[in-house]
Chain A
Amino acid sequence: KQEVTQIPAALSVPEGENLVLNCSFTDSAIYNLQWFRQDPGKGLTSLLLIQSSQREQTSGRLNASLDKSSGRSTLYIAASQPGDSATYLCAVLTQGGSEKLVFGKGTKLTVNP
């Protein structure tokens, strides 16, 4: 059974700091890994999707890496801003049978002005 773990559960940083969020998963049989952002009371916004054959993806100040063999991914946020404050969720799309997204519990990020 696939399990996804995110560390830390919460993170508070001053504005302008670079930061890393971590995600690990137990089964390497995945199609892709996705990072989402969730604002309070809102749905999920997809930030980056890394296919299982890829090593990283970049979008603006965000960079996500994937090491499938070790079951790890990181989300790097450069020059953090108060508007980055949200919960960040990592999810893997499992292979075999039904292709389902399995989520971690998320990291709640607060960027202080």
Chain B
Amino acid sequence: EAGVAQSPRYKIIEKRQSVAFWCNPISGHATLYWYQQILGQGPKLLIQFQNNGVVDDSQLPKDRFSAERLKGVDSTLKIQPAKLEDSAVYLCASSRDRAETQYFGPGTRLLVL
């Protein structure tokens, strides 16, 4: 069974630029999560999808971050414009359903200069 795929693996941008990350969850998984992990911290949930609907986006900075999950499969997370403090690893995870085991992708490491 293929795992959670993410791309790109690394991205370097200048502040005020925009960036997008892509996630392909495990086939058949209804729930998809995006986490932000700042160096030295544990991951923090940004947004949770159930199929193509948003369950929780309470910690998503909506003035600059947006995410979508069209057709309830792949998802994209966008930052526009980026700030220095957005430098972090962005992790995508999926689970068969809510409250079930989450499987994590390798993450996208973002550096904002």
Which A residues are closer than 8 A to B by beta carbons?
Answer: 4, 31, 34, 36, 41-46, 49, 89, 91, 93, 97-106
- Summarize A's interface: helix, strand, loop or mixed: strand
> Once the chains are docked, how many angstroms separate the CA of A44 from the CA of B33?
13
- Summarize B's interface: helix, strand, loop or mixed: loop
B90, chain A: closest CB distance, angstroms: 11
Partner of B91, one of A43, A46, A49: A43
Partner of B56, one of A45, A89, A100, A104: A100
> Once the chains are docked, how many angstroms separate the CA of A34 from the CA of B104?
13
Q: B17-50 CB contact bits vs A (8 Å, 1 = yes)? A: 0000000000000000100000011111100100
B39, chain A: closest CB distance, angstroms: 11
Q: How large is the interface on B (under 10, 10 to 19, 20 to 34, 35 or more residues)?
A: 20 to 34
Determine whether the beta carbon of B56 is less than 8 Å from that of A97: yes
Contact residues in B for A45 (Cβ distance below 8 Å): 104
B95, chain A: closest CB distance, angstroms: 9
Q: Knowing A98-B55, A100-B48 are in contact, say whether A4-B42 is a contact too (CB < 8 A).
A: yes
Q: Knowing A43-B106, A44-B91, A44-B104 are in contact, say whether A98-B41 is a contact too (CB < 8 A).
A: no
Determine whether the beta carbon of B42 is less than 8 Å from that of A89: yes
Identify the closest chain B residue to A97 (Cβ).
Answer: B56
> Once the chains are docked, how many angstroms separate the CA of A31 from the CA of B101?
11
